[in-house]
């Protein structure tokens, strides 16, 4: 018997609003069953959300930050109380395994608490003046209304990554979830509604990118666009934002190089690179996407990686416990990786394991794959794969690896496996990346700073620097 579907409603001005027109259907990627519908919001609804966010902002921004923090703590508590249902909701619509969905939910609650704790630590500056009797003050002020546009890969956490710093700095926000994974965002809104957060401070409008996303990013009432997604969409949003010179924070794609030197702990490198590549079925912006290994250890590394990738378990996460991976999020993603691997084979890549779609009867599954004999002129070494596929290239030394790694369009994440601290420091000094991990898998901390160079984005998230992205600096001169 099929499950009943939920028809979600937009959350605007503290209320779930009536459905007014078209809806978008949402399916489970493990079995293609219909889960829900969300509104394909029309122009009036998006306008209403922006009006309400604008109207609420002044009073919200003038409240002491510690009061704003109180609401974030309440929302974090609500998330913890509903953690199991929320994790299930994410797994159903996105396909990640339940254990990872649980990590995502708990991390989201911790993130809200972490950002709330900045309330008493937001600081301005007092600067000596050249004029007698004058003081110069720098205030950190909210920007106004933030439009948060979300992708589908960590859909629940990314709500908090945008709304928590935005709200603690005194902004209001209108969120548009990805049309692939919107349900968890409406469940988040239910918790917000119960927290008593003032109306208009947090709003959710459903819809597609070209319609609702475009309307949000082209509207004058929006003071900052906080976008996470692909480079192509980021580039389109940048063009749209140029009309109103709207401030941008863009967290885009990656092509993370993992460099394995001949003095590395090979077992550690194999374990960490496998974990990084298969978490969330390889659909993480800072996953290891390509490997550079030195000749002396290449055979050992490749044979151990083959074993490790062949041990990865996958399937429908709601039918089997303790799987390593679920399906890819949609057929577009599956077709994309299948085509990329076929092209790599034609260009000379050797399939060590995998190399094809895994037919489990339902769901978008691709076999964990290792490709050797790759070179930096191949598409697979340059374009984001976003699936459990690892192409490997042999390099003579660290300098060559760094040169090739830096020649990428992307600059989000990089990693290095070595026991030599001077080689680690050479990499840190020469890699042109927003993040570098030494002897560990790629996964960021909330108190760090997540940002990319080149086409991986503009600005960053997390920690103090991520928080201050959601502010502007107001200088005031007071002549006594
Ligand atoms: P996407 O760019 O296809 O879509 C992201 C969002 O943008 C969706 O909500 C979509 O509706 C919206 N959108 C589409 N066109 C738009 C337009 N013209 N104007 C406004 N909004 C529009 O990305 P995706 O497939 O959902 O996510 C995967 C991508 O996200 C990958 O490239 C991944 O690397 C990247 N990502 C980056 C980070 C990071 O922190 N750097 C984190 C997660 C994902």
CA–centroid distance, residue 248 to ligand 1 (Å): 14
- In whole angstroms, give the CA distance from residue 399 to residue 162: 37
Whether residue 253 has its Cβ less than 6 Å from ligand 1: yes
Q: How far is CA 152 from CA 82, 211, 330, 339, in A?
A: 21, 18, 10, 22
pLDDT digits (tens, 9 = 90+) for 104-150: 999 999 999 999 999 999 999 999 999 999 999 999 999 999 999 99
CA–centroid distance, residue 231 to ligand 1 (Å): 8
What is the predicted pLDDT for the residue at 397? Answer: 98
**Which of 204, 229, 459 to mutate to test ligand 1, by most ligand atoms within 8 A of the CB atom?**
229
pLDDT, the chain, mean: 97
What is the predicted pLDDT for the residue at 383? Answer: 97
User: For the CA atoms of 233, 239, 241, 244, what is the dihedral angle to 10 degrees?
Assistant: -160
Phi-psi region of 319 (alpha: psi -120 to 50; beta: other; left: phi over 0): alpha
What is the predicted pLDDT for the residue at 301? Answer: 98
Q: Nearest Cα to 389, choosing from 433, 337, 437?
A: 337
CA–centroid distance, residue 233 to ligand 1 (Å): 6
How sure is the predictor about 4, in pLDDT bands with cuts at 50, 70 and 90?
Answer: confident
256-445 carries CATH number 3.40.50.2000: no
Q: Give the 3-state secondary structure of the chain.
A: CCCCCEECCCEECCEECCCCCCEEEEECCCCCCEEEEEECCCHHHHHHHHHHHHHHHHHHHHCCHHHHHHHHHHHHHHHHHCHHHHHHHHHHHHCCCHHHHHHHHHHHHHHHHHHHHHHHCCCCEEEECCCCCEEEEEEEEECCEEEEECCCCCHHHHHHHHHHHHHHCCCEEEEECCCCCCHHHHHHHHHHHHHCCCCCCEEECCCCHHHHHHHHHCCCCCCEEEEECCHHHHHHHHHHHCCCCCEEEEECCCCEEEEECCCCCHHHHHHHHHHHHHHHHHCCCCCEEEEEECHHHHHHHHHHHHHHHHCCCECCCCCCCCCCECCCCCHHHHHHHHHHHHHHHHCCCEEEECCCECCCCCCCCECCEEEECCCCCCHHHCCCCCCCEEEEEECCCHHHHHHHHHCCCEECEEEEECCCHHHHHHHHHHCCCCEEEECCCCCCCCCCCEECEECCEECEECHHHHHHCCEEEEEEEEEC
What is the predicted pLDDT for the residue at 20? Answer: 86
Buried b (16+ CB within 10 A) or exposed e, 345-365: eeeebebbbbbebeeeebbbb
Between 183-195 and 65-81, two packed helices, what is the crossing angle to 10 degrees?
120
Whether residue 230 has its Cβ less than 6 Å from ligand 1: yes
Please say whether the dihedral angle defined by the alpha carbons of residues 218, 220, 221 and 224, taken in this order, is positive or negative. Answer: positive
What is the predicted pLDDT for the residue at 81? Answer: 98
What is the predicted pLDDT for the residue at 2? Answer: 63
Between 83-94 and 183-195, two packed helices, what is the crossing angle to 10 degrees?
160
pLDDT digits (tens, 9 = 90+) for 194-210: 999 999 999 999 999 99
Whether residue 151 has its Cβ less than 6 Å from ligand 1: yes
CA–centroid distance, residue 230 to ligand 1 (Å): 4
What is the predicted pLDDT for the residue at 442? Answer: 86
Tell me the two tokens of residue 420. 């030599």
Instruction: Just list the catalytic residues.
Output: 251, 285
Q: Taking a C-beta distance cutoff of 8 angstroms, is the pair 383, 409 a contact?
A: no
% of the chain exceeding 70 in pLDDT? 99
**Which of 150, 151, 335 to mutate to test ligand 1, by most ligand atoms within 8 A of the CB atom?**
151
The end-to-end CA distance of the chain, in Å, is 77
CA–centroid distance, residue 228 to ligand 1 (Å): 5
Whether residue 434 has its Cβ less than 6 Å from ligand 1: no
- In whole angstroms, give the CA distance from residue 74 to residue 113: 9
Do 256-445 and 6-252+456-479 have the same topology in CATH?
A: no
Whether residue 413 has its Cβ less than 6 Å from ligand 1: no
Each domain of the chain, given as residue ranges in start order, spans: 6-252+456-479, 256-445
Whether residue 181 has its Cβ less than 6 Å from ligand 1: no
Mean pLDDT, residues 229-235: 98
Whether residue 147 has its Cβ less than 6 Å from ligand 1: no
**Which of 46, 104, 226, 233 to mutate to test ligand 1, by most ligand atoms within 8 A of the CB atom?**
233
Please check the confidence at residue 479 and state whether its pLDDT lies above 90: yes
pLDDT digits (tens, 9 = 90+) for 431-451: 999 999 999 998 899 999 999
Mean pLDDT, residues 156-169: 98
Q: Taking a C-beta distance cutoff of 8 angstroms, is the pair 294, 397 a contact?
A: yes
**Nearest atom in ligand 1 to 207's CA:** 11
Q: How far is CA 194 from CA 75, 87, 159, 161, 198, in A?
A: 8, 19, 17, 20, 11
Whether residue 412 has its Cβ less than 6 Å from ligand 1: yes
Please check the confidence at residue 66 and state whether its pLDDT lies above 90: yes
Residues linked to residue 399 through DSSP beta bridges, in sequence order: none
CA–centroid distance, residue 47 to ligand 1 (Å): 22
- In whole angstroms, give the CA distance from residue 184 to residue 458: 27
Please check the confidence at residue 37 and state whether its pLDDT lies above 60: yes
What is the predicted pLDDT for the residue at 286? Answer: 93
Nearest CA to ligand 1 atom 28: 229
Whether residue 237 has its Cβ less than 6 Å from ligand 1: yes
Please check the confidence at residue 1 and state whether its pLDDT lies above 60: no
- CATH assignment of 6-252+456-479? 3.40.605.10
Nearest CA to ligand 1 atom 30: 229
Whether residue 460 has its Cβ less than 6 Å from ligand 1: no
- In whole angstroms, give the CA distance from residue 87 to residue 289: 26
């Amino acid at each position: 018997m099929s499950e009943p579907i939920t028809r979600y409603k937009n959350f605007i001005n503290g209320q779930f609003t009536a459905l007014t027109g078209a809806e978008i259907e949402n399916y489970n990627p493990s079995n293609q069953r219909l889960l829900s519908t969300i509104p394909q919001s029309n122009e009036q609804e998006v306008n209403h959300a922006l009006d309400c966010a604008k109207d609420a902002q002044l009073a919200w921004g003038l409240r002491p930050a510690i009061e704003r923090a109180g609401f974030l703590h309440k929302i974090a508590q609500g998330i913890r109380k509903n953690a199991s249902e929320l994790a299930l909701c994410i797994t159903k619509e996105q396909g990640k395994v339940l254990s990872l969905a649980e990590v995502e939910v708990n991390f989201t609650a911790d993130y809200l608490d972490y950002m709330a704790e900045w309330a008493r630590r937001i600081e301005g500056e007092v600067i000596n003046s050249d004029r007698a009797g004058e003081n110069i003050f720098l205030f950190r002020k909210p920007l106004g209304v933030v439009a948060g546009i979300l992708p589908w890969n960590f859909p629940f956490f990314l709500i908090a990554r945008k709304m928590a710093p935005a709200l603690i700095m005194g902004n209001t926000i209108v969120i548009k979830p990805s049309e692939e994974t919107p349900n968890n965002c409406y469940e988040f809104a239910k918790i917000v509604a119960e927290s008593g957060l003032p109306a208009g401070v947090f709003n959710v409008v459903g819809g597609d990118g070209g319609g609702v996303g475009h309307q949000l990013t082209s509207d004058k009432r929006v003071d900052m666009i906080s976008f996470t997604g692909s480079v192509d969409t980021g580039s389109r949003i940048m063009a749209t934002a140029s009309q109103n010179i709207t401030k941008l924070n863009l967290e885009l794609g990656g092509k993370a190089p993992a460099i394995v030197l001949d003095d590395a702990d090979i077992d550690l490198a194999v374990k960490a690179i496998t974990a990084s590549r298969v978490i969330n079925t390889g659909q993480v912006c800072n996953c290891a996407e390509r490997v550079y290994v030195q000749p002396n250890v290449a055979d050992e590394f490749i044979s151990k990686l083959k074993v490790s990738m062949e041990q990865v378990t996958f399937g429908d996460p709601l039918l089997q416990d303790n799987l390593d991976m679920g399906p890819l999020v949609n057929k577009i993603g599956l077709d994309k990786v299948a085509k990329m691997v076929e092209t790599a084979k034609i260009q000379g890549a050797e399939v060590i394991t995998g190399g094809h779609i895994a037919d489990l009867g339902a769901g978008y599954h691709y076999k964990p794959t290792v490709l050797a004999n790759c070179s930096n002129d191949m598409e697979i070494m340059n374009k984001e794969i976003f699936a459990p596929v690892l192409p490997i290239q042999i390099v003579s030394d660290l300098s060559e690896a760094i040169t090739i790694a830096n020649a990428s369009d992307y600059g989000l994440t990089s990693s290095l496996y070595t026991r030599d601290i001077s080689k680690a420091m050479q990499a840190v000094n020469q890699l042109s990346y927003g993040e570098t991990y030494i002897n560990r898998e790629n996964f960021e901390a909330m108190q760090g700073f997540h940002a990319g160079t080149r086409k991986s984005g503009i600005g960053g998230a997390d920690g103090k620097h991520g928080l201050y992205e959601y502010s502007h600096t107001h200088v005031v001169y007071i002549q006594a």
